[in-house]
Chain A
């Protein structure tokens, strides 16, 4: 993977929200790289900042939020653009959004407008980003719908989103996102709202498309199994921090951070039977307004070291094989 060129580099990103209740540090010092054609999974529970990370990349952070520090460099044709420096309503970022970087949302019902046909909405994207006639755009849209496995695309293109089933809507959503051949697709919980058999279809489709179109992929989910199916690298987030990141086969075989270990142990696994012991993480995710001092995970951590973990934020430790972890249990070798 490391042979392919660097596509996106996020360095020390911090996005905070300012509200009456105080400052919410949704993302606080997150760094990662994505190479062309690579699939990165960002996992974590609600409030960990995984979705805000994606919103920061596309510069669609809600109004009361702001990127306070950090750089997001997108490499296009050998040139590097820092997305953080762009005007979030400017021409440049609008060309990147939907063009270079596209996004698939969790709830396709909310992502489509109800009053236009899906064909209308897909051709609009195509015509925004590429110079072509209405007819050409329509043809490309049909082609795209066919590519995502939509039955009878010539007819479904004129369907309204509410007339499609959940699985079909998710396919239409993917078709829209891919219509301009982005080099990076961000999928935020792409299969959370659909059934298991449909989830299998969507995952298979995304795997195929990623391979065929050679695009990079960021999958944001709470479901580690989905990441295991799709991704090369995994980043685990907890309360705005990137607690661990490693190649997928490494992290699932040999998780280092106690939070990752806990997450993996708290999911009942198919095939383990009736007698398997779940080992849940104690407590629950604290309110992001009251983030614990030191390591954010220390109040729930089974390996908690008094006077260390609750005082000092652990630095990012680089282990062998591209495995990075933020935990006092490990030392730089």
Chain B
């Protein structure tokens, strides 16, 4: 195989400079490059035990997240994409410690440069760190407490953390937050049921941004919304990112949304990252057969303008069971390019950038260099 290192040694080395960093600074030393990473996740694992019988004996484990490493640069959007059960949501929750990871390290860097190892924090310390992290959930119908008014929902973080004690001040801050998500502040005394799905999602976003976080985990924030409203929320998220210099970890299964919103993308399959790199380059030329199949599976509206009817790759079978992962490459039972080696040997996540001198592009495939895979044909120059 060509000159390429395994990801473990590569991820923490100074050579790893992502496109976001290249843009935001003129390379003044490796230390600065490192401190630009809001989040650094290394070898994150989450195994859920499978318990059976009266004594709750452990009979196996579900490898929901299995050795996942990535970082997020300040101001960028990293998308985690994959099908259900691939571990994208679990990864997002482990990063926030909404779920306790089994092992691995999550380093969060505050705006002042202070580094915090999130996985070893005590409950109390965790609360002070979670202030810098917001979370937006998929379903705005279940993520807002129906018994609280909008004022109480958005104001809750200030009250529980005793940040604002004055009622008037609280109302002013909530009004400001509502305006930032383009909602009328006079609605703040209403209950969630009075709002449509899109408006509720705006309230959920205002709540996530209440404590002025650096970093927001958005877990399928538009999947439960109507088509015409999805676009409003996506545009809002993009605008808020520029206005408030937010960093997003965006979890979704929708590849069109990934392309629209994210700078870099990490494709996950059965608990592992199979491809990670710059969104544009991965979508133009995927290097992992699974990414190719995912891109090809997305139905497109035939406007007849471009006439880009593509040869569709249809994968056979279902996503592998994370409780019973196939040996070798986890994707081999469905892979159209499968070879003998794939059934036996597990491929490592390697950086192809060494081979072509471009931005880092990690792929977990034995034949990443040989295969000529088809991406999305661009309709713009």
With A195-B319, A268-B260 known to touch, is A284 a contact of B304 (CB < 8 Å)? no
Residues of B near A262 (CB, < 8 A) are: 228
Categorize the interface residue count of chain A. Answer: 35 or more
B300-319 to A contact mask, C-beta < 8 Å, 1/0: 11111100100010111111
Stretch of B150-158, B196-204, B352-360 that contacts chain A: B196-204
Segment from A63-71, A115-123, A225-233 that makes contact with B:
A225-233
With A195-B319, A272-B259, A272-B379 known as contacts, the answer to whether A204 contacts B314 (CB < 8 A) is: yes
Is B2 located at the chain interface by the 8 A CB criterion?
A: no
CB 8 Å contact bits of B311-343 with A (1 = contact, 0 = none): 010111111000000000000000000000000
Whether B380 and A272, one on each chain, are in contact in the complex, defined by CB atoms closer than 8 angstroms, is: yes
**Stretch binding the partner chain, chosen from B10-18, B91-99, B229-237:** B229-237
Residue A90 CB within 8 A of the other chain: no
When distances are taken between beta carbons in the complex, the residues of chain A under 8 Å from B379 are: 269, 271-272
Contact code string A136-152 (vs B, CB < 8 Å = 1, else 0): 00000000000000010
Whether B318 lies near A270 (C-beta < 8 A) is: no
Min Cβ gap A330→B in Å is 21
Q: With A and B bound together, what is the CA distance between A225 and B297 in angstroms?
A: 11
Whether A268 pairs with B227 at a CB distance below 8 angstroms is: no
Q: Are B198 and A276 in contact (CB under 8 A)?
A: no
Interface of B toward A, CB cutoff 8 Å:
83-84, 196-199, 226-232, 234-235, 253, 255-257, 259-260, 263, 279-280, 283, 293-305, 308, 312, 314-319, 376-380
* Contact, CB under 8 Å: A266 / B380: no
Chain A nearest CB, measured from B140 CB (Å): 12
Chain A residue with the shortest CB-CB distance to B198? A284
Q: In the complex, are the beta carbons of B227 and A197 less than 8 A apart?
A: no
Contact of B260 among A46, A264, A274 (CB under 8 A): A274
Taking CB as reference atom, which chain B residue is nearest A265?
B231
Give the docked Cα–Cα distance between A285 and B227 (Å).
11
| B303 lies within 8 A of A273 (CB) | no
**A269, B228: Cβ atoms under 8 Å?**
no
For the complex, is A267 an interface residue (Cβ under 8 Å from B)? yes
CB of A168 within 8 Å of the partner chain: yes
Query: Which B residues are in CB contact (< 8 Å) with A285?
Result: 196, 226, 228
The closest CB in chain B to the CB of A165 belongs to B318
B298 to chain A, nearest CB (A): 5
Contacts of B298 in A (CB 8 A): 196, 225, 270
Least CB distance, B378 to chain A, in whole angstroms: 5
A270-310 toward B: CB 8 Å interface, digit per residue (1/0)?
Answer: 11111110111110110000000000000000000000000
Q: Is the CB of B231 within 8 A of A199?
A: no
B199, A284: Cβ atoms closer than 8 Å: yes
Is the CB–CB distance between A271 and B227 below 8 Å? no
Chain A contacts with B in 248-274, Cβ cutoff 8 A: 248-249, 252-253, 262-274
Determine whether A24 belongs to the interface, using a CB cutoff of 8 Å to chain B.
no
